[in-house]
Amino acid sequence: MVDVSEKSVTSREATAESVLVTRPDVVALLSAGDLPKGDALAVARVAGIMAAKRTPDLVPLCHPLPISKVTVDLTPGEDRVVIMATVRTRGVTGVEMEALTAASVAALTLYDMVKAVDRAATIEHTRVLAKSGGKSGEWSRA
């Protein structure tokens, strides 16, 4: 692990996204909560939040951080669901990995819940969109 003992505690935030691509009829089922496994949006949201908190257990060399807030927003579109995860902390290192983990696990959870009706669904565009705080300051993909 990188030694972060001399770094300053600052407010930090990161936002990541992932996209589940499927068929329009599957998005309709998902939006209505009519998938065989139930309300996929609610389950994926909780899975993403839980995953952010478990990032150091899943990704070697990630420091455990005092996470102060996690939001996971899932927005259904015509043939996709866009997942946006934002993580905040006051700590000595950034939360990009926690945001990526939240978005990824939410997408994996959606896939698990739609695969009974669409095995061809895909997960795409998992990436960090923005980060702020720390020595490197603000960064945005846009």
Active site residues: 112
Specify the pLDDT at position 114.
97
Specify the pLDDT at position 115.
96
Specify the pLDDT at position 135.
84
Specify the pLDDT at position 50.
98
Using alpha carbons, list the distances in angstroms from residue 117 to 22, 41, 73, 79, 102.
10, 16, 23, 14, 24
Average pLDDT per run of 10 along the chain, which is 142 residues long? 88 98 97 94 98 96 95 98 98 95 99 97 98 91 84
Specify the pLDDT at position 1.
87
Would you list the domain boundaries of the chain? 17-140
Specify the pLDDT at position 29.
96
User: Any idea which architecture 17-140 has in CATH?
Assistant: 2-Layer Sandwich (3.30)
DSSP per-residue string spanning the chain: ----TTSPPEEEEEEEEEEEE--HHHHHHHHHT-BTTB-HHHHHHHHHHHHHHTHHHHSTTPPP--EEEEEEEEEE-SSEEEEEEEEEEEESS--HHHHHHHHHHHHHHHHHHHTTT-TT-EEEEEEEEEEE-STT--EE--
